[in-house]
Amino acid sequence: MCDKCSENLHQSMAPSRRSMMLFAASALGMAAFGGPALAKEAKAPPKPQNVLSPDAALKRLMEGNSRYVSGVSRRHDFKHEREALVGGQNPYAAVLSCADSRIAPEYAFDSGRGDLFVCRVAGNFAGDETVASMEYTVAVLGTPLILVLGHDNCGAVDATIKSLKDDKPLPGHIPTLVSAIAPSVKAAAQQSGNALDNAIRQNVIDNVAKLKSAAPLLNAAVEQGKLKVVGGIYRLSTGAVELLAQG
């Protein structure tokens, strides 16, 4: 090959200054925006109004309860909320509630669709599945607040008290509820006053403590100030939620 041909071939294979600049700019752009994967993560949440601090989330939750108690709940546009939430969710609060049919967190806090992430079980205790669900809503959905919601005259707590007192196991799988609630009932037995009311309150406080300390996800979120876990009692006669424990 002649020197002239070799020189021409080398020039054709070498990248131009313009192409190099374009490549560099493209690479910087991808790095700045994190590429397609991170660009997808940066997508605006379906309900921007649900991106709140833990304190603001608690304030909003209790304002909703005040409207519910006063009988001035808002009219919710469920049609457009359904459309907005097809592609995802970002609830501003999570609620661990008793399964009692008289307790409905979505109504009690005058919330719209996609606002609350609710787990319900008789006796509102945090079993492994519930802890995992709360980890999901905090770590994946970014929920800044968890409320453990007990209520007066709780049948599950009352049944636990009677089962322990009579030393008589309940039928079916109900003893699993008794086992979960029993530690709180025993702790409250040393307190003066109404045994059922004390046990209901203690059960809420104990489950707040359990969720706050649940490693490795929930306790880390609490320590970083990204999550607040609180407890409350729903009053059947008024619908009001009285906060018990904050942190």
Q: What is residue 83's predicted lDDT score, i.e. its pLDDT?
A: 81
On the CB side of 1, how many CA atoms lie within 13 Å of its CA? Answer: 8
CA-to-CA separations, 97 to 1, 142, 192, 231, 245, in angstroms, rounded: 83, 20, 26, 10, 15
| pLDDT per residue of the chain (247 residues) written in tens, 0 to 9 | 555 444 444 444 444 443 433 333 333 333 333 344 444 456 889 999 999 999 999 999 999 999 999 999 988 777 777 888 998 999 999 999 999 999 999 999 999 999 999 999 999 999 999 999 999 999 999 999 999 999 999 999 999 999 999 998 899 999 999 999 999 999 999 999 999 999 999 999 999 999 999 999 999 999 999 999 999 999 999 999 999 966 4
Q: Alpha-carbon distance 114 to 49, whole Å?
A: 11
Nearest 5°: phi and psi at 233? Answer: -120, 125
Q: What is residue 125's predicted lDDT score, i.e. its pLDDT?
A: 98
